[in-house]
Amino acid sequence: MTAPIFLGDELSAAGYRLGGAVVRTPAPGEEPSFLEWARREAPLVLVSAEVAARLPRGALARAFAAGQPPVLIVPDVRGRVAPPDLAAELRRQLGMEA
């Protein structure tokens, strides 16, 4: 598959679909299997912050560590869950922030 895959809510998915992405809206509990499927099929995986929050922490860590395909957490239209603050996470890992 050559198109990016978006995993998220239906409203956000409508916009990504218009942009040419393949979209899926996993029900609660289906997120890990959808993420693994997307990683096998797409050159780029976009995950809404809401879906990312429902994923087991290890699933995202493995996806980020693999590097291919790139996996990005994106805000959803409703803004119910904020994407992670990567700068704060990096400062915390470096011991610059508690």
Instruction: Give residue-wise pLDDT tens across range 59-78.
Output: 988 998 888 999 999 987 77
* Residue 22, in any domain of the structure: yes
| Confidence band for 18, pLDDT divided at 50, 70 and 90 | very high
pLDDT of residue 15: 93
- 7 vs 86, more confident: 7
pLDDT at 56 over 70: yes
* Residue 46, in any domain of the structure: yes
pLDDT of residue 80: 72
Q: How many domains does the chain have?
A: 1
* Residue 70, in any domain of the structure: yes
Q: What is the CATH number of the domain that holds 21?
A: 3.40.50.10580
Q: What is the pTM of this model?
A: 0.80
pLDDT of residue 46: 96
- Distance CA(40)–CA(77), nearest Å, equals 26
- For helices 57-66 and 31-41, angle between their N-to-C axes, nearest 10 degrees: 10
The terminus-to-terminus CA distance of the chain in angstroms comes to 42
* Residue 89, in any domain of the structure: yes
pLDDT of residue 98: 65
Q: State which residues form the domain around 67.
A: 5-93
